[in-house]
Amino acid sequence: MPRYQEGNNVHHFLVIFEKCAEHYGASAPDLPGCVAVGDTLEEVKQAMREAIEMHIQGMIEDNEPIPPPQSTACYPDIAVPNAIA
């Protein structure tokens, strides 16, 4: 599936990246089951882009609707008390 071509709809799906003990993992909440793993953050980013493209291509082949991106994320400010020494 082309990454972008004139006339294609461009969607921005939220991807969550997690650092695990020995690798990185990624998932897209709006595309259940769409996950990737890589040894580095750059590797998992590329793997996830490919996983999303393959996931969407499979949905198209199965005549399933492509869900609109709905998930968002934020980093709230949280006051954390200083540890007592």
Query: In this predicted model, what pLDDT tens digit does every residue of 21-78 receive, in sequence order?
Result: 999 999 999 999 999 999 999 999 999 999 999 999 999 999 999 999 999 999 999 9
DSSP 8-state code for residue 3:
S
pTM recorded for the entire structure:
0.80
Residue 84: pLDDT band (50, 70, 90) is low
Q: Of 28, 31, 33, 60, whose CA–CA distance to 44 is shortest?
A: 28
Judge whether residue 1 has pLDDT over 50: no
Residue 11 has pLDDT above 70, yes or no: yes
Q: Cα(27)–Cα(19) distance, rounded to whole angstroms?
A: 12
Q: State the pLDDT at residue 45.
A: 98
Q: How do the domains of the chain map onto residue ranges?
A: 16-61
DSSP E strand stretches across 1-85: 16-19, 24-27, 35-38
Which class is domain 16-61? alpha beta
Using 50, 70 and 90 to split pLDDT, how confident is the model at 4? very low
